[in-house]
Chain A
Amino acid sequence: MVKQFLITRPNYDKATAYIHSFSKDIVADAKEDAGIHITDLEGSKATDLGFEKAIKKSKPKLVFLNGHGDETVVLGHNDEPILTERNVGLLKGKIIYALACESLAKLGRIAVEKGVKAYVGYEEEFRWVVDPSRTSTPDKDKNAAPFRKVCLVLGKSLLSGVSAGKSIELTRKEYKRLIKNYGTSADNYGDAPLIGLALSWNLLFLGFAGDKAASF
């Protein structure tokens, strides 16, 4: 039986351009897998209306939200709220992974109270380091590469059916491996120590609510 996967990935400013870039390999993997049907709400398709319609139509078991956010909302295209307490009940029984600032802190907990099986996300802002000469081409930004890698590890783990708890464990392991790589750089004046700090920040605030055994 084909498994249904839905992803939102707006791309309308510098931050969403990077987060969109981080999602590309996950989308490519899902498209290559005959056992997965992907509903890809990319760019201007990531609207409140489009999201709710797609949830009702495709009934995905795994939902991956990319974009801006805060404790109470995940945003879509042009800062349009697509997930709030108002509509989170639509995601009952699903696994959510939100690459969006702070949403685990409140929205994730509310989502689980309203029946979401597991909500994976960040309690604080998601952070990364950019090469200022590469901000118009995030795919080529080497400073962003370790952040892309951890997003890929988490996304691929969930997508391949690894449980939410184990996926978090694997991602934390990858964070630690990367911190060891970047944190021991002898070049203090380069970007590596700051990359190490941003990775440590994300490691500290990555978490989940709900059933750790939940899997796609």
Chain B
Amino acid sequence: MSSLYEEQKKLVLARLRTLNPDAKMMSGKNKAVSVKELIKHVEDDDLFGKKIVEAQIKMLQVLTGVN
């Protein structure tokens, strides 16, 4: 994995760790996922974790006007 991704992952984990660990996101599949679980997916580098990194980076791009 590229070093850019590793840097993005660190940034995303730092951001997620500031949130309420018990807050949950729902999905159309009736699966709620907590912030605590999101952090675990990102730490484990699984497919869902990688997509969370992508979404959080997208959010930062929107907030900074990059995208």
A199 to B15, CA, bound (A): 16
What are 20 A-B contacts defined by CB distance under 8 Å? A14-B26, A15-B28, A99-B28, A100-B28, A127-B28, A128-B25, A130-B24, A130-B26, A189-B19, A193-B15, A194-B25, A197-B52, A197-B56, A199-B59, A200-B58, A201-B25, A201-B51, A204-B51, A204-B55, A204-B58
* A196 in contact (CB, < 8 A): yes
Interface string of B19-45 (1 = CB under 8 A from A): 110011111111100010000000000
Q: If the complex has contacts A129-B23, A189-B20, A190-B20, are A197 and B28 also in contact, measured as CB distance less than 8 A?
A: no
Whether B18 is near chain A, meaning CB under 8 Å from some CB there, is yes
CA distance A183 to B59 in the complex (A): 7
Smallest CB-CB separation from B54: which chain A residue? A204
A69 and B55 in contact, given A129-B23, A189-B19, A194-B35 (Cβ under 8 angstroms): no
Most chain B CB within 10 A, of A19, A101, A191, A193, is at A193
- Does chain A have a CB within 8 A of B1? no
Measured between beta carbons, the chain B residues less than 8 angstroms from A194 are 19-20, 23-25, 35
Min CB–CB distance B26 → chain A (angstroms): 5
Tally chain B residues at the interface, Cβ within 8 Å.
23
Within 8 Å by CB of B29, from A68, A128, A199, lies A68
A10-B29 Cα distance, complex, nearest whole Å: 14
For chain A, give the interface size range: 35 or more
A176 within 8 A of B: yes
B62 within 8 A of partner (CB): yes
Partner of B25, one of A69, A129, A176: A129
Complex CA gap A40/B11 in Å reads 46
B4 is an interface residue with CB less than 8 A from chain A: no
Would you give the shortest CB distance from B10 to chain A, in whole angstroms?
Answer: 17
CA distance A129 to B27 in the complex (A): 8
User: In the complex, are the beta carbons of A191 and B23 less than 8 A apart?
Assistant: yes
Please measure, in the bound complex, the distance between the C-alpha atom of A107 and the C-alpha atom of B62, giving whole angstroms: 29
In angstroms, Cα B51 to Cα A14, docked, is 24
Given A15-B26, A129-B24, does the pair A196, B35 have CB atoms closer than 8 Å? no
Which residues of the partner chain A approach B35 to less than 8 Å between Cβ atoms? Answer: 194
Residues in B with CB closer than 8 Å to A203 are 58, 62
Asked if residues A101 and B28 are in contact (CB atoms below 8 Å), the reply is: yes
Q: Does A53 contact B (CB under 8 A)?
A: no
Give which listed residue, B20, B25, B29, contacts A197 with CB less than 8 A: B25
Q: With a CB–CB cut-off of 8 A, which chain A residues contact B23? A: 129, 191, 194
Closest to B58 in A: A200
A113-143 near B? 1/0 per residue, CB < 8 Å: 0000000000011111110100000000000
